[in-house]
Amino acid sequence: MKKFLCAANWKMNKGPTETAEYLTKFLSLLPKSSQSQVAFFAPGYNLPAMQKALQGSSIFWGAQNCYFERSGAYTGELSPLVLQQLGATHCLVGHSERRQLFYETDEDVSKKVSLLQELHMVPMICVGETLEQRNQGKTHQVVLNQITQSLSRAVPEASFVLAYEPIWAIGTGQVATAQQAEEVHQWIRQHLVERIGPEAAKNTYVLYGGSVKPENSSELYNCPNIDGFLVGGASLEVESFLSLAETNLAFAKSH
Ligand code: PGA
């Protein structure tokens, strides 16, 4: 089986009680033979409930955003240091909703990436083009810029995850075709080879996100350079997210 990481981005959905109920159900239904790696990204107020429910499991979890300082006068922000103390393993960074709605820049993203890495957490860096940029043939240029700038302060040899999420495919039901996704993923992998060397590039997870659902997951899973999914809408129900998290098992059984 190829390496596979399935991440849930709940966005601004669910509260602590629902978090506990969802995760209890998810853990009880997760097959013992599961070899998937799973991560949950929840709103900040759910993280203690998440920590409690996932304690002792091998499931990763974290916030959907953080600030790039450990503490201080930053009203409304989340401290990466406290996230780490709570037990978070990962943090989403630079999601397109943060970039578009909250004006987060590549500079901000790069500072968050380096602080998370200093604190031994794994940043999951989201990149992706708008429909307009794609139609203008700028996809590679936009994605390359985002990757280069996001990693400009990265701690050497510290790990990171990339999530390629074409903005036109997020929450729209319009998934990129496997061919469109693989084309960008292959190109990202090549860039990583040049940047961090073949071995590290091979070990770096590059996820696809944007309207991933159980109905389109096997086609995407089949792509050699797609190492997993970042799932919004379809992660809100236990059954659909579980089926996505087990895509590798389903695939192994059918081949
Ligand atoms: P979606 O969201 O699966 O609802 O398209 C993905 C994301 O925003 O990470």
Compute, in angstroms, the gap from residue 191 CA to the centroid of ligand 1: 24
- The residue nearest atom 1 of ligand 1, judged by CA position, is 232
Q: What is the pTM of this model?
A: 0.96
Ligand 1 pocket test, candidate residues 13, 90, 212, most atoms within 8 A of CB = 212
CA atoms of 150 and 197, how far apart (whole Å): 18
Q: Does 165 qualify as catalytic in the annotation?
A: yes
- CA 159 to centroid of ligand 1, rounded, Å: 23
The mean per-residue pLDDT over the stretch 191-200 comes to: 96
93 Cα to the center of ligand 1, angstroms: 14
Please state, rounded to an integer, the average pLDDT across all residues of the chain. 96
Question: Under a CB-based contact definition with an 8 Å cutoff, are residues 170 and 210 in contact?
Answer: yes
pLDDT at 251 over 80: no
- Beta strands at 90-93 and 60-63: parallel, antiparallel or unpaired: parallel
